[in-house]
Amino acid sequence: MQRTTRRRALGTICAVSALSSLLWSCGRSPDAAPGEPHREPLPEESGPKKFAKALSKVDATVPELQRSDWLNAHWKTPVAHQGDAPAEWTELEKSLDPEKCAICHPSQAADWRGSRHSKAMGPGIMGQLVDNDDKFNYIEGCQRCHAPLSEQYPVLANNVANERFDPELRAHGLSCAACHVRKHEVRGPPSGRPIADNTPHGGFVPRDEYESPTFCATCHDFKPHQKRLNGKLFQETSEEWRRTSFAAEGKTCQSCHMPDKRHLFRGIHDKDTVRDAVDVRVSVGAGSLVGDMITASLTLTNTGAGHRMPTYTPPQITLILEQVDKDGNALAQTQRVGAVARRLSVDLKKELYDNRLLPGQSYTLDYQLRRARGSAAVLARVEVWPDEGYRRFYTAVLKNPARHTKGRPLLQEALKDSIKSRYELWRELAPLDD
């Protein structure tokens, strides 16, 4: 008997930083540390390696993005000190503190607080920086995107101590001012409304660049001269987008990640966003006796992410098929797993595989196993592990006590967070015939 079920889901996934991706499985072996996955071979490890094409071999649907001189100047990092604000401004108008911005912009601030941008200087990155806060080049390599204001740097060029350093502002990560304030001039997307006289902080300067993918590409696409593996940068999200129908239709990063100009920036960590971006289908066929062959397949298709699913290297989407008893308990030796990810070695020197999906592409986990005693159904699941690459990195770093001595407690916290961020996206139980 053949059963086919279908579920829809999707996710426009924009990760914020990275290193690598993946280890694996779904249950835990008895000797595994709490929260650590049980290690089982992945199909990609035992079978032929799969490598997504370099984007230079994928036809673009729109011309190469052109950055304006204004945008290049806007994103020159570290962003120059704001300097002295106009004398007639109030302390509220002069402040770079996002909580002060929230007084007049409560809805934008509320969205931002729940976003990954507000967590851009979380324990993972701070755990790496605190041991190197006297090295400008080290800091700049991370903070150019995570906290780009000069006021957020403990030292500046030539490792000179920064007299205007604000550690609280640094902790806010990619804050309001990082995108919107230069020399106390406030900038933003065109609003379509006239700016009234006597507006706080002199109103703002409208710029079309805020509605262009080029604004986001500054951080979400690594530079062309940076390291590549198999012809691919570690992150090149807008270039992936240029190869899709989304780009041809004018659907930009902002269309999905900032709907109605909201500062949500939702992506792989948000279950609803990912559910709206993929289609999941499971098919199960089996005989009715113990020992009969069960055949099944679980297919994930990128139907709504305007770039590779997932983009960047940390996330992993996990597909699981296993037999369960009448109470829903998993039966030993019946689980099969597969992953959609770009997996790199922890030292970032080798691409182990890359089976990420451009829009319209699918990944299928096939299952062929004899029916186990007590088997009542096949359980199909899809899990999302947004920070799996980071988990592998933190695990490796923490094995060396001499590394990141000051940041060790922060990295331990980040490791726990990388495991807690996992969630189940989808499940379907397919009963077997008696």
Query: Does residue 413 sit in the same domain as residue 371?
Result: yes
Q: What is the pLDDT of residues 9-50, one digit of tens each?
A: 333 333 333 333 222 222 333 233 333 443 444 544 444 568
Q: How far apart are CA 280 and CA 220, in angstroms?
A: 27
How far apart CA 48 and CA 156 sit, in angstroms, is 48
Residues 51 and 164 placed together within one structural domain of the fold: no
Please check whether residue 226 lies inside any domain of the structure: no
Considering the domain architecture, whether residues 27 and 129 belong to the same structural domain is answered as no
56, 104: one domain: no
Residues 37 and 117 in one domain: no
pLDDT tens, position by position, 315-363: 999 999 999 999 999 999 999 999 999 999 999 999 999 999 999 999 9
Range of the domain at 372: 2-60+267-431
Average pLDDT over residues 110-129: 97
387 close to 18: Cβ distance less than 8 angstroms: no
Please indicate, yes or no, if residue 276 is contained in any of the structural domains. Answer: yes
Alpha carbon distance 163, 165 (integer Å) = 6
Tell me if 410 is assigned to some domain. Answer: yes
| 187-240 pLDDT, tens digit each | 999 986 666 667 899 899 999 999 999 999 999 999 999 999 999 999 999 999
Quote the number of domains for the chain: 2
Please state, rounded to an integer, the average pLDDT across all residues of the chain: 89
Tell me which of 40 and 137 has the higher pLDDT.
137
427 and 367 share one domain: yes
pLDDT band at 149 (very low <50, low <70, confident <90, very high): very high
Q: Are residues 296 and 422 in the same domain?
A: yes
Q: Are 129 and 139 in contact (CB under 8 A)?
A: yes
* 101 torsion bin: left (phi>0), alpha (psi -120 to 50), beta (else): alpha
The strand pair at 232-233 and 423-431 is best described as unpaired
**Same domain, yes or no, for 30 and 104?**
no
